[in-house]
Amino acid sequence: MVSAISVNDTLYINTVTNFSIYVNESVTFDSINLTDTGRIEISGLNTTATVGNFYNINDTYNSTIDFFGLTNALIFWQNGTIINQQFTGNINLSMPTLTNITIMNNYVIDDGDTPSSGDPVNSGGGPGDTKINNTLLGPLAIQVENLDNSFIFMSNTTVLTFVDGSLNITLSPDEFFYIVDYEQLLAFNENQGTTAHDLSGNSNDGTLTGPTWATDGILITLTALTDYTINPTTGLFTIVNNDFSWSELIVSYTYGVTANDQRALINNLTGGVAVFFTFSNVWFTLLAIVLLIIIVMSVITFVGKNNKSNVSS
């Protein structure tokens, strides 16, 4: 056995069984062994920087190859079918004639490094701007490392913001996501002053020269207790922060546990107390019936008085 060898364009043949493996990438092994029983054994495969492609170029015999000491390995056939992923341990692979497999040991996406040239998933442009695209034929679990205030946009429209450290993402076939590291992120939501604060954490604040802040149409998210309160029994909505003032404000929301608990905020509010009116279908119906009865009784009473007057006259 030989320790720590780096190979490229090398053919290994075990004459006992005619098993053959051809390696056409620069791959480092701790050792490789052609056993007396006809097996090809590879230990300590290191493909951190490159992709390990292994071919059975024999057109007559299947080949058997054993890999020892894999860690978080991604293994797939030449057509993109995944054999195993995030695999740690030893694995025996039987390769049909004229086929090849790819093994990427210690496979993670490092946001700080340029991707390997043969990486079938990471097609990104390097640090700070990376595209991850699953070109394999199955869902793929990907570990992404060294994220730093990153913005992640996925093809299913999911958006993640300000992501630090590591992240595990599973992509279906042909799904992808982008990683962009913020250098500067300005929300322009200060609504006062001449400084646009950088939200990326890199302290790249901007200075506003010339423009003025608009006083209408500002989208503000109110904070419970600080800006408003809601009575859980009556649904009374009260604005407690007098810094806010709106006109022609219309707000609707669902309160409570039933679909009938719909409340609508009255128009033309200016700070202070804003009261929600509850329109429950059941109570509205009962109120309508009561009003109808009152109207009918009033008409009957009125007609009765007129009849008495006519009799008296």
Q: Are residues 89 and 116 in the same domain?
A: no
Whether pTM exceeds 0.85: no
Rounded distance between C-alpha atoms, residue 172 and residue 138, angstroms = 6
First to last CA, the chain: 132
Rounded distance between C-alpha atoms, residue 39 and residue 27, angstroms = 20
Specify the CATH number for the domain of residue 136.
Answer: 2.60.40
Q: What pLDDT score does 25 carry?
A: 81
The residue count for the chain: 313
163: closest CA among 176, 175, 178, 141?
178
Q: Tokens for 220?
A: 């503000």
8 A C-beta contact, residue 70 and residue 47: no
C-alpha distances in angstroms, 126 versus 166, 182, 311? 17, 14, 102
| Residue 142 covered by a domain | yes
State the chain's maximal CA–CA distance in angstroms. 133
Helix/strand/coil (H, E, C) string of 174-211?
A: CCEEEEEECCCCECCCCCCCCEECECCCCCCCEECCCC
Q: What pLDDT score does 278 carry?
A: 42
Beta bridge partner(s), residue 226: none
Q: What pLDDT score does 260 carry?
A: 43
How do residues 159-191 score in pLDDT, each as one tens digit?
888 888 898 999 999 898 888 877 777 778 777
Q: Are residues 24 and 91 in the same domain?
A: yes
Q: Are residues 93 and 116 in the same domain?
A: no
Give the HSE-up count for residue 149: Cα atoms under 13 Å, Cβ half-sphere. Answer: 10
For β-strands 40-43 and 63-77, DSSP reports them as parallel
Cβ contacts of residue 305 below 8 Å, gap of 6+?
none
Q: What pLDDT score does 68 carry?
A: 93
Q: What pLDDT score does 132 carry?
A: 85
Write down which residue in 153, 181, 209 finishes a domain. Answer: 181
| Residue 203 covered by a domain | no
Q: What pLDDT score does 183 carry?
A: 77
Q: Are residues 117 and 51 in the same domain?
A: no
8 A C-beta contact, residue 183 and residue 142: no
Q: Tokens for 33?
A: 């062994």
Q: Are residues 21 and 85 in the same domain?
A: yes
- Expressed as residue numbers, the domain containing 60 is 5-104
* Tens digits of pLDDT across the chain (313 residues): 445 788 888 999 988 888 899 988 888 888 888 888 888 999 988 866 567 889 999 899 999 999 999 999 999 999 999 999 999 999 999 999 999 999 988 888 887 777 666 677 765 555 567 788 888 999 999 888 888 888 888 887 788 888 888 989 999 998 988 888 777 777 787 778 889 888 777 788 999 888 877 655 455 667 788 877 887 777 677 777 776 654 434 454 444 444 444 443 433 344 444 333 444 455 566 677 888 888 888 878 877 766 666 555 5
Q: Tokens for 140?
A: 């793929």
User: Phi and psi of 238, rounded to 5°?
Assistant: -125, 125
Write down which residue in 162, 181, 200 finishes a domain. Answer: 181
Write down which residue in 104, 133, 168 finishes a domain. Answer: 104
Q: What pLDDT score does 98 carry?
A: 94
